[in-house]
Amino acid sequence: MHLVSCGRKLGNILMYMEIECGYKVDFVDGWQPEALKERLAAARRIVMTAHTNADGDAVGSLTAMFALLTNALTHSHINAFTLTPMLPDGCPEDLTWLPNTDKILSGKTDLDRCRQAIAEADLIVCMDLNNLDRTGVLADAMRASKAPRILFDHHIGPDRESFDLVISDPEISSTCELIYWAFRTTFGREVFDVDAATSLFTGLCTDTGTFSYSNRQQSLYLAAAELSQMGIDPMEINRQIKNVFSEARLKFFGYAMSELLTVYPDQSAALMVIHQEDMLRFGVESADLTGLVNEVMKLRDTDCAILIREEENRVRLSLRSKRFTDVNRLAGELFDGGGHTRAAGATSYLSLGETVKKVKKHLGLLVTLLIFTFHFSLFISCNDVPVIEVQQKKPSTTDVDLINTNRMLAQRESTDIENFAARRNWTMTDIGSGIKVMKTREGNGPVADYNDTVAIRYTVRNIEDKVVYENVDDTVVIGRLQPNRGVDFALRTLNEGCRATVILPSEEAYGVPGDGNRIGKRWVLIYYIEVVKINN
């Protein structure tokens, strides 16, 4: 891709991408670049932070933001300000090679300084988190601050109420990629230097497993290509990411794989449980476990992997999947966790034993539910990969065939949905469980939340684009739509006055039986919804 060959200078990246590549970067919240400029121009003391147990995307976002805002002083008319980057647990040792990490305050060792900086700030920028709870020991000070807050994030369900400006896209590969396009659109290429590009490229690599997953959008490769032209050394970055294990960490990975991993081949799943004493024995910390669950995903026939580790006063869960399991939904059902369809996390305040028992019981029940509902043609959740207890009876060949058939049908349905949207050139956001949403008109009222009463007007079509129900006026209560819970989930992303097109896989609509009236068995449904009124 060569800008020179275009024969013109294009100042707007969205225009450039439409002309050169036929692709457009859209941000879910529809923010305008001027809104970001105005917030920055009004600030004098900016605090920046990311989530606890920071990974490459979090540290990359934070250090890149430091470089980008510093450069914005030189290349724009933004007034001078002070920048204070901080992390709840400090910067992990294996990422200290990134530029500007020496400027990061740690909530562990510099908590008083962090709190003072937050109290004095007139702008707070949060990255790679969808709610303030993920700022750990900094959360109370963050909530107490009266300063405006900006969020850059790519997780599902950002807490919009806690932020004054939300720049979000759950479909994008990483927060670093999101920041790249946001600043590329707002300030142009001149604010990017080698430091910013190195940090951003690192986040792209770590959150995609070096472009091996979370990479369905063309924008990832376009961002990587442009960053690689900014003086960075991709090979050195990759070496720093992958080849920086300490002896203790490498030995612990080997121990964990051989002694702490249980594989359930018939259910395409794996579970790893780590006690604190395991970590003490090898002298490793939580940060040293980064990437361990991804190593489990290298198992050829494993679709879902769950890592459970014991910490002081809590238990952490990391969940990953390849194709079928919606681990964002699974994390939410287990412990109010979340993240992405293929990568999620959760925190449990039960004991380690009770946490493991709950996970096994929950996943074990999914087997029973899946087989039962298939036999009796009831509502099916075919995105969940079941895991059974070791002592449970192995599913029969018939049961496994039914599960595999269900997965095949779900995959075929997913392809049909993708093709349906592609034929119409719809740019849609997957909000989880295969539910796709595209806003056609922004609203200006509140966003629907649990137990809210919402007046809606909608038309329903099937995958063959035939009208099923037309211009229906209805009132629903969020959290109580069963069946058809896909509409429930979609409404939680829309605000009053908004119009949107929503595509529901059959499992998130009326499932196998249909509605007994106009909706047939296993129908994919397309809703054209207007949110008329929300009563909190």
Is a pLDDT exceeding 70 seen at residue 368? Answer: no
**Given pLDDT bands bounded at 50, 70 and 90, which one contains residue 77?**
low
Is a pLDDT exceeding 50 seen at residue 282? Answer: yes
More confident residue, 428 or 483: 428
The candidate with the shortest Cα–Cα distance to 515, out of 473, 483, 471, is 483
User: What's the pLDDT tens digit per position in 429-455?
Assistant: 988 778 899 999 999 888 887 678 899
More confident residue, 56 or 336: 56
User: What's the pLDDT tens digit per position in 130-156?
Assistant: 889 889 999 999 999 999 999 999 887
Is a pLDDT exceeding 80 seen at residue 483? Answer: no
Is a pLDDT exceeding 60 seen at residue 479? Answer: yes
Q: Residue ranges per domain, the chain?
A: 4-242, 247-375, 429-535
**Domain 4-242 homologous superfamily, CATH:** inorganic pyrophosphatase (n-terminal core) (3.90.1640.10)
The candidate with the shortest Cα–Cα distance to 512, out of 421, 410, 433, 429, is 410
Residue 451's pLDDT is what?
A: 72
Residue 387's pLDDT is what?
A: 33
Is a pLDDT exceeding 60 seen at residue 417? Answer: yes
What Rg value do the Cα atoms of the chain yield, rounded? 24
d(CA 282, CA 54): 21
Is a pLDDT exceeding 50 seen at residue 375? Answer: no
**Whether the Cβ atoms of residue 177 and residue 213 lie closer than 8 Å to each other:** no
Indicate the range of 7-21, 197-211, 246-260, 465-479 predicted with least confidence.
Answer: 7-21
User: What sign for the dihedral angle of Cα 224, 230, 234, 235?
Assistant: positive
Is a pLDDT exceeding 80 seen at residue 365? Answer: no
d(CA 324, CA 303): 7
Tell whether domain 429-535 is in CATH 3.40.720.10: no
Please report which helix (H) or strand (E) contains residue 105, including its range. strand 105-106
Fold matches, 247-375 and 429-535:
no
Q: At what angle do helices 175-187 and 13-20 cross, to 10 degrees?
A: 100
pTM of the model: 0.61
Please report which helix (H) or strand (E) contains residue 347, including its range. strand 343-348
Is a pLDDT exceeding 80 seen at residue 456? Answer: yes
Is a pLDDT exceeding 50 seen at residue 373? Answer: no
**Whether the Cβ atoms of residue 126 and residue 151 lie closer than 8 Å to each other:** yes
Residue 27's pLDDT is what?
A: 57
Residue 16's pLDDT is what?
A: 35
Is a pLDDT exceeding 50 seen at residue 173? Answer: yes
d(CA 412, CA 328): 22
Cross-strand pairs, 274 = 309
**Given pLDDT bands bounded at 50, 70 and 90, which one contains residue 482?**
low
* Other C-beta atoms lying within 10 Å of the C-beta of residue 190: 11
Residue 29's pLDDT is what?
A: 58
Backbone angles phi, psi at 45, to 5 degrees: -130, 105
Is a pLDDT exceeding 90 seen at residue 97? Answer: yes
> What tokens were used for 509?
């609509």
User: What's the pLDDT tens digit per position in 194-243?
Assistant: 999 999 999 999 888 888 765 567 888 999 999 999 999 999 998 888 87
Please report which helix (H) or strand (E) contains residue 407, including its range. helix 397-423
**Whether the Cβ atoms of residue 305 and residue 327 lie closer than 8 Å to each other:** no
Residue 30's pLDDT is what?
A: 61
User: What's the pLDDT tens digit per position in 2-42?
Assistant: 232 233 333 333 333 333 444 455 555 566 788 888 888 88
Q: What is the mean pLDDT of residues 500-512?
A: 88
SS (H, E, C) 470-486: EEEEEEEECCCCCCCHH
User: What's the pLDDT tens digit per position in 177-189?
Assistant: 999 999 998 888 8
Residue 15's pLDDT is what?
A: 34
SS (H, E, C) 189-258: HHHCCHHHHHHHHHHHHHHCCCCCCCCCCHHHHHHHHHHHCCCCCHHHHHHHHHCCCCHHHHHHHHHHHH
CATH architecture of the domain 247-375 equals Roll (3.10)
Residue 208's pLDDT is what?
A: 86
Residue 385's pLDDT is what?
A: 34
Residue 20's pLDDT is what?
A: 41
Average pLDDT of every residue of the chain: 82
Residue 497's pLDDT is what?
A: 94
Residue 345's pLDDT is what?
A: 86
d(CA 248, CA 258): 15
**Given pLDDT bands bounded at 50, 70 and 90, which one contains residue 337?**
confident
**Given pLDDT bands bounded at 50, 70 and 90, which one contains residue 257?**
very high
More confident residue, 8 or 516: 516
